[in-house]
Amino acid sequence: MAPKVDRFVSPGKGNGLRATANIRRGELVYSAEPQAACVSNKWAKNVCHHCFSRHETLLRCSQCKMARYCNITCQKLAWPVHKSECKCLRSVLPRIPTDSVRLAARIVFALAIEMTQYKLGSSKGNGEELYTLEEHESHLSSLCEQKREGLSQLASMLQLYLQEEVSALDQVVSSLPPSCQDPMSLMAKVTCNCFTISDAELQEIGVGLYPSLSLLNHDCGPNCVMVFEGTKLHLRAIKDIELGDELTISYIDSMALTDDRRKQLEEQYHFTCCCQRCDSRDMDALMASGEEATCCLLKDALPRLDGLKAESNWPELLDLCKELLSKAGSSFPAENLSKLKVTDVALDACIQLGLWEEALEFGLKTLPVYRCYFPDPHPVHGIQLMRVGKLQHFLEHITDALDTFKQAYEILKVTHGDAHPLTSELKMKMEECRCELNQ
Ligand SMILES: [Zn+2]
Ligand SMILES: [Zn+2]
Ligand SMILES: [Zn+2]
């Protein structure tokens, strides 16, 4: 464990992490590899199941035909854990268990390997973890009937999935603390505590368990953010933090109304947020601004946009966005969250359709709004700037592109740090712009 953090009891919140030194904005606070991680089913064909990098074509495991890898090296490195997984996957074919079930199974496989290494005396031990699976909350007792039912289905799926390896795993499972032996409780712990792993473009490509970082509590205006590099998780400070201060992240999309954020946190994480932003209903009025009938029109259309996006029906999606935006009219406030969402979706659709000029127009409209809603550096804002900068660069608006890239860099050097591959890519783009301007 890095010396900058330690575990403590946060008043009213239970376990938490706090700073054991003054930490400056932009500093790396903590890095962790997952105890277990898996690529989500949705991305299974395009993301390496070992290093989590994205490729058009990948090598396929000849046995389960599910796991895919960049190359033989990744496949070999993945084999110790995949060996058990591969057997289990084959046993339930053509069904593929859900992401959370596959992750829970991978945790069991990882524990089995740890135990063998421990017996052989080659284990480094688990002493550096601040938090163990046993201590993870399951919230089982406070779940509503419907959620319990869902969880019990996942637990049965986990049992069925692990059946093939049961004899090999028996010893492991029986040596786990009772709260981790019961499939229902294990599934509950996994679903409450797993992290979504996203790639550089913030696509959600997998799930993982990072025990020590499960201690981090939520704040709608947090002092830290998490970014990934493959499966490695980096926790970075986006504000100056003083010795003794609690470290916080946002569990959810912070661009939402207070009531919506609170509802999501209650349903998904079982607590009521009492952070400063929630108490003061910070920016709610601005996020919901605009004439009411139009607000409703835009908000009610969002599920349809999501549906068309899921179908990759870009032409229809773009038509619908344009229709909505023209109905709202240009004087309708850009700060309205639904309007922002529609504009963002229109940007995606234009990029998919190769309509670069239009894409840039939509992108530019979103930037002042992002700036307003992200007063602290945030990956979402940095990446939006980078997308717009790339469009400007492609359309040969070089001076504008360089300016946008510079703004993106001010954010990414804090949220990602100078050594992150995304920051390197951005610096290269800036260099290209400078060369082109000098010519
Ligand atoms: Zn790989
Ligand atoms: Zn396989
Ligand atoms: Zn809050």
What's this model's pTM, rounded to 2 decimal places?
Answer: 0.92
Decide if 295 is inside a domain. Answer: yes
Residues 273 and 290 in one domain: no
Residues 85-119: tens digit of each pLDDT: 999 999 999 999 999 999 999 998 888 888 777 77
Ligand 2 centroid to 90 CA: how many Å? 8
Ligand 1 centroid to 371 CA: how many Å? 35
Q: Residue 6's pLDDT is what? A: 92
- Angstrom distance (rounded) from CA 20 to CA 44: 40
Using the predicted structure, report yes or no on whether residue 40 has a pLDDT greater than 90: yes
Residues 43 and 185 in one domain: yes
Ligand 3 centroid to 249 CA: how many Å? 11
Decide if 199 is inside a domain. Answer: no
Ligand 2 centroid to 92 CA: how many Å? 13
Using the predicted structure, report yes or no on whether residue 343 has a pLDDT greater than 90: yes
Last residue of a domain, one of 193, 226, 258: 193
CATH of the domain at 233: 2.170.270.10
Ligand 1 centroid to 367 CA: how many Å? 34
Residues 403 and 330 in one domain: yes
Ligand 3 centroid to 8 CA: how many Å? 21
Ligand 3 centroid to 219 CA: how many Å? 5
The H or E element spanning position 17 is: strand 14-19
SS3 265: helix
Residues 161 and 234 in one domain: no
The bound ligand whose nearest atom lies closest to the alpha carbon of 89 is 2
Residues 260-271: tens digit of each pLDDT: 999 999 988 889
Q: What secondary structure does DSSP assign to 327-387, as a single string?
A: HH-TTS-TTSHHHHHHHHHHHHHHHHHT-HHHHHHHHHHHHHHHHHH-SS--HHHHHHHHH
Burial class (CB in 10 A: 0-12, 13-18, 19+), 94: exposed
Ligand 2 centroid to 63 CA: how many Å? 5
Using the predicted structure, report yes or no on whether residue 138 has a pLDDT greater than 50: yes
- Angstrom distance (rounded) from CA 427 to CA 338: 33
Q: Band of the pLDDT at 23, cuts 50, 70, 90?
A: very high
Residues in CB range of 9: below 8 A, 6 or more apart: 15, 16
What does DSSP say about strands 204-209 and 195-198: parallel, antiparallel, or unpaired?
A: antiparallel
Answer whether 117's CB lies under 8 Å from 92's CB: no
Decide if 198 is inside a domain. Answer: no
Last residue of a domain, one of 164, 193, 222: 193
Which residue in 215, 212, 194, 206 sits closest to 104, CA to CA?
Answer: 194
Q: Residue 181's pLDDT is what? A: 82
The bound ligand whose nearest atom lies closest to the alpha carbon of 61 is 2
Please name the residue ranges forming H helices in 93-200. 99-119, 145-162, 166-175, 178-181, 183-193
The angle formed by the CA atoms of residues 258, 259 and 265, to the nearest 5 degrees, is: 90
What does the mean pLDDT of the chain come to? 93
Residues 320 and 388 in one domain: yes
Q: Band of the pLDDT at 324, cuts 50, 70, 90?
A: very high
CATH of the domain at 381: 1.25.40.10
Decide if 310 is inside a domain. Answer: yes
Burial class (CB in 10 A: 0-12, 13-18, 19+), 375: exposed
Residues 67 and 132 in one domain: yes
SS3 76: helix
SS3 218: strand
3-state helix, strand, coil in the chain (%, to 5): 55, 15, 30
Residues 244 and 294 in one domain: no
Tokens of residue 258, six digits: 């207070």
> Is the four-CA dihedral 234, 235, 236, 238 of positive or negative sign?
positive
Residues 20 and 47 in one domain: no
Q: Residue 127's pLDDT is what? A: 46
Residues 215-256: tens digit of each pLDDT: 999 999 999 999 999 999 999 999 999 999 999 999 999 999
Using the predicted structure, report yes or no on whether residue 369 has a pLDDT greater than 90: yes
| Full residue range of the structural domain in which residue 246 is found | 1-33+210-278
Tokens of residue 73, six digits: 């090296």
CATH of the domain at 44: 1.10.220.160
Decide if 396 is inside a domain. Answer: yes
- Angstrom distance (rounded) from CA 179 to CA 186: 7
Decide if 201 is inside a domain. Answer: no
The bound ligand whose nearest atom lies closest to the alpha carbon of 259 is 3
pLDDT higher at 366 or 191: 366
Last residue of a domain, one of 158, 193, 228: 193
Residues 298 and 422 in one domain: yes
Residue 171: how many CB atoms within 10 A of its CB? Answer: 11
The bound ligand whose nearest atom lies closest to the alpha carbon of 77 is 1
- Angstrom distance (rounded) from CA 293 to CA 432: 47
Domain total of the chain: 3
Decide if 205 is inside a domain. Answer: no
Residues 380 and 341 in one domain: yes
Q: Band of the pLDDT at 257, cuts 50, 70, 90?
A: very high
Using the predicted structure, report yes or no on whether residue 396 has a pLDDT greater than 50: yes
Residues 77 and 160 in one domain: yes
Decide if 203 is inside a domain. Answer: no
Q: Residue 126's pLDDT is what? A: 47
The bound ligand whose nearest atom lies closest to the alpha carbon of 75 is 1
The bound ligand whose nearest atom lies closest to the alpha carbon of 275 is 3
Q: Residue 92's pLDDT is what? A: 94
Residues 23 and 161 in one domain: no
